Amino acid sequence: MSDAKVAPNLPQWMLDHVARYLSSGGTDGHMYTIKNPNVPEMSVQSLLLTTTGRKSGEKYIFPLFYGETGNSYFIIASKGGAPEHPGWYRNLLANPEAELQVGTRTLTVRARTAADPERAVLWEKAVVIWPPFADYQRKATGRQIPVVVLDPI
């Protein structure tokens, strides 16, 4: 991930999170604690996904909440319920090979979009991990939010 850049246009809280994750080698930042005055405090496990830009060819780092399924990880392409898919997901569609940092562990993965019935099972797990995903799906009119499985290669 040394040649990767933090993705452009991330909000400050994500930039701070990535900086803490990278500077500690993953010992700090793997668990992200949400401290929002409108919701109860909660901790969520996060990983760093490095994709190859579909237009630029450059490597970009994105912090994302995740779950586990077998030997693989899964992430949700919610973009907070926006009508369009996040850039990292579009990058994976163009080039499904990516790098992960999960805590102190780094690995290469191949991404795939889960289809039902696998998607339905993983979606339910995702909503337990991060309940706002359900709200994001209601906001994302016109698109089903993809569940992306990251299989180690």
Q: Please, what is the angle between helix 118-129 and helix 132-139, to 10°?
A: 120
pLDDT at position 1? 54
Question: Domains of the chain (ranges plus CATH)?
Answer: 5-152 (2.30.110.10)
- The C-alpha atoms of residue 92 and residue 111 are separated, in whole angstroms, by 7
Q: What are the 10-residue block averages of pLDDT along the chain, 153 residues in total?
A: 82 90 93 79 93 94 96 95 93 97 97 97 96 88 92 97
Report field, pTM of the whole predicted structure over 0.85: yes
Q: Do 110 and 151 meet the contact criterion of CB atoms below 8 Å apart? A: yes
Q: What is the pLDDT of residue 52?
A: 96
What pLDDT sits at residue 42? 85
Predicted local confidence at residue 33, as pLDDT: 86
pLDDT recorded at residue 34: 79
What's the CA gap between 9 and 62, in Å, rounded?
11
Residue 122 corresponds to which tokens in the numbers above? 């993983």
How much is the pLDDT for 115?
97
3-state percent helix, strand, coil for the chain, nearest multiple of 5:
30, 35, 35
- Please report the pLDDT score of residue 11 as a whole number: 87
Do 77 and 90 contact (CB within 8 A), yes or no? no
